[in-house]
Amino acid sequence: MRIPQLGHSLFEAHSFRQTQTAFVIREYMRHGTDLLTTPLPVFGASANVPMEMPLFQGLAAQIARVGISAEMAGRILGLIGFQVAAVLLWVLVRRWFATTAATLAVALMQFLPFGLAWGASSLIDFSSVALGLGMVVSLDGYVRRGGAVGLALGAGSAWICALVKVTTAFPWCVLLLFAFAAVRGTRRPLGRIVTALALGPGVAVLVAGLWTRFADNVKGGQPATRFLTSDELAVWNFGDVSMRTSGSSYSSLGLHAFLEVGGPLGVGVLVAVFGALADRGSGWHRWGLVTATASGPIVFFNLYAVHSYYWIAVFPMVCALMALGIVTAAERLPTPATGKARLTALLAGLMVVSAIAIPLGSSEALQFARSPSTPDLSARLAAMTHPDEQVLVIGCDWDPTLLYGADRHGFMIRDGLASSRPSAASITNYRYLLSCDDALKPEDYLPAGWRASRTADPAMYSIEPVTP
């Protein structure tokens, strides 16, 4: 069902993040993979901009060696992560609750519009979710039964998850705490809990901190990327008082929670709450799912308010709670025992169909069904320049979509500050300037002694030194 989606372009929702990921994959394909460098040629051809450890990008580059594109390789690896996460969700929900709820949770994850849209995206998020689930499934099993294999798998999953997407690791660590709280018994489980926490999340925090320090040192050493260090991004990640008291922020959170992830029209959220209140399994597990789901947007407030794809981190938890709610509703409705399974399937089907029917759900379903074309400005840039020519870009912030779509390297000047511009010594590397905003004056972004001349394309300028 998802095979055609693997060939889609990345110029859909959140193309900024998808092309940022694919840019690194493509650079690895062409120049070799080095996980200690993250090539992102939007701040110059040799720019190294480490965010998370680029393990996903490195693996996708190896997949691409069979002769496929970077975007297809990213989508294939993203889909693998999505399906592994679905399998692990089934294992966890079956262990904690029941087989019917587990199967239903996976079905919701597969067919709700949010899963349709993002299950095969060129994003690291579902792969990191698979690692988070792997941590919980393995360490929960280790605490219950012991075994070095479970401990090793759980600890390794925790470390890698923290390295590739620490914002995903956090809510799954919260769920892990509730999983351990549900374990009752002798001192032996307590000892295993301490061991699991120390070797899993404990070491994960350490390795994530070391990677962040390394990445900050690299980005901080380049004036154009200093704004991407963790200190500079603290407000962007966590939000400040003004953001956390802003009505528009809560409106965005509500849009994502009630219409995208918990659709349709918030009914899914209500069903999930009903599932949490149902007397099924351990209350520690049910309310662990609730708390872990809420912990993501509570801690990383602005990220969840601005970007809907951050909700991927908690989407399987929401599906599990919805499944519990649907199963409980089907059991309590006055129907013959022989018809309970059909009623459960009917309620789940109504949830999916109605979620697709609302405007936001239908747009996500269309994203699953069709491939957008290359942006016009990218196509024009590709037509006007040669593959080895670098381009200055103004008025587009640092959105990689433009340069990725054109398959060009360049320097995207974010604002009028000197730190956002290429050095005067490197200006000779650029023959053209592209402006995404007609109100901007190209000369304001060039060093003294250089001028910009219009070309046949109104957005493109040739740049050259002023002759005496």
Q: Mean pLDDT throughout 19-28? A: 98
Q: Is 411 helix (H, G, I), strand (E, B) or coil?
A: strand
Q: Which one, of 51, 78, 283, 280, lies nearest residue 179 by Cα?
A: 283
Quickly tell me which residue has 């099924």 as its tokens: 280
Please give the pLDDT value at position 329.
94
28 pLDDT more than 70: yes
User: Model confidence over 142-175: pLDDT tens digits?
Assistant: 999 999 999 999 999 999 999 999 999 999 999 9
In angstroms, the CA 363 to CA 259 distance is: 12
In angstroms, the CA 345 to CA 351 distance is: 10
User: Model confidence over 192-234: pLDDT tens digits?
Assistant: 999 999 999 999 999 999 999 999 999 999 999 999 999 999 9
| Structure tokens that stand for 25 in this block | 């994959």
| 57, 59, 65, 66: CA torsion to nearest 10 | -120
185 pLDDT more than 70: no
What φ, ψ does residue 450 adopt, rounded to 5°? -125, 150
279 pLDDT more than 90: no
The angle that helices 148-164 and 166-181 make with each other, rounded to 10 degrees, is: 150
Please give the pLDDT value at position 72.
97
Quickly tell me which residue has 């409106």 as its tokens: 251
What is the sign of the dihedral through the CA atoms of 63, 64, 68 and 69? positive
| Structure tokens that stand for 284 in this block | 């520690």
Q: Please check whether residue 39 is in contact with residue 28, taking contact to mean a CB–CB distance below 8 angstroms.
A: yes
In angstroms, the CA 7 to CA 76 distance is: 9
Please give the pLDDT value at position 467.
79
Contacts for 262 with CB less than 8 Å, ≥ 6 apart: 268, 269, 272, 318, 322
Q: Please check whether residue 311 is in contact with residue 260, taking contact to mean a CB–CB distance below 8 angstroms.
A: yes
* CA 89 vs CA 107, 204, 241, 295, 315: distances in Å: 11, 21, 35, 19, 11
User: Model confidence over 313-356: pLDDT tens digits?
Assistant: 999 999 999 999 999 999 888 888 778 889 999 999 999 999 99
Q: Return the ∠ at Cα 168 (arms to 369 and 134), rounded to 5°.
A: 90
User: Model confidence over 86-133: pLDDT tens digits?
Assistant: 999 999 999 999 999 999 999 999 999 999 999 999 999 999 999 999
312 pLDDT more than 80: yes
Q: What is the DSSP string of 93-109?
A: HHHHT-HHHHHHHHHHH
Q: β-strand 460-465 against 430-435: which pairing, if any?
A: antiparallel
| Structure tokens that stand for 266 in this block | 């918030």
Please give the pLDDT value at position 186.
64
User: Model confidence over 208-218: pLDDT tens digits?
Assistant: 999 999 999 99
The angle that helices 315-332 and 70-96 make with each other, rounded to 10 degrees, is: 40
| Structure tokens that stand for 6 in this block | 């693997």
Please give the pLDDT value at position 81.
98
Please give the pLDDT value at position 71.
96
ω into 447 cis (within 30 of 0): no
Q: Which one, of 445, 451, 455, lies nearest residue 463 by Cα?
A: 451
Q: pTM of the prediction?
A: 0.94
Q: Mean pLDDT throughout 364-379? A: 90
In angstroms, the CA 9 to CA 439 distance is: 30
263 pLDDT more than 90: no
Q: Mean pLDDT throughout 31-49? A: 96
In angstroms, the CA 11 to CA 17 distance is: 10
Q: Please check whether residue 164 is in contact with residue 126, taking contact to mean a CB–CB distance below 8 angstroms.
A: no
Q: Mean pLDDT throughout 428-441? A: 94
